[in-house]
């Protein structure tokens, strides 16, 4: 018989034993570092594997021709969405540049005021 259902509510391990301490945020920092390292390793592996696949595919002109036709088909099929996303991105980049210019002007004005105040106080 299967006795898995027995004792599901009982836990002989006391709470806190064998668990990582989060005092001072040390485990959270460690988790962030580990996640970053794992992400970097995964990205490196994917890039390395992708290079091998693409170099193998580049040796076969028929495969490259077929990939080009497929890319052209999907670009034509989704052209309206691509154009709208591109125009939205252009508008957002223009807004970003204008905000950066305004922030830079504000910083320059504050710096001039600070130098003028220091020059007057001396």
Give 33-58 pLDDT, tens digit per residue: 888 888 988 888 888 887 887 777 77
> pTM (2 decimals)?
0.42
- Which secondary-structure segment (H or E) carries 93? helix 79-121
What percent of the chain shows pLDDT beyond 90?
37
Nearest Cα neighbor of 20 from 3, 34, 4 is: 34
Domain ranges of the chain: 25-77, 78-122
- In DSSP notation, 18-44 reads TPPP-GGGHHHHHHHHHHHHHHHHHHH
Q: What average pLDDT score do residues 12-25 get?
A: 49
Q: Which is it for the CA torsion 21, 26, 28, 30, positive or negative?
A: negative
What percent of the chain shows pLDDT beyond 70?
75
How far is Cα 111 from Cα 118, in angstroms, rounded to an integer? 11
């Amino acid at each position: 018989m299967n006795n898995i259902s027995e004792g599901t509510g009982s836990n002989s391990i006391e709470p806190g034993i064998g668990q990582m301490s989060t005092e001072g945020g040390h485990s959270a920092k460690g988790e962030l570092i580990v996640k970053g390292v794992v992400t970097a390793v995964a990205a490196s592996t994917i890039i390395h594997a992708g290079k091998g696949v693409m170099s193998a595919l580049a040796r076969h002109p028929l495969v490259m021709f077929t990939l080009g036709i497929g890319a052209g088909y999907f670009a034509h099929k989704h052209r309206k969405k691509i154009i709208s996303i591109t125009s939205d991105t252009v508008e957002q980049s223009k807004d970003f540049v204008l905000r950066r210019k305004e922030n830079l002007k504000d910083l320059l004005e504050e710096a001039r005021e600070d130098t003028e105040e220091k020059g007057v106080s001396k």
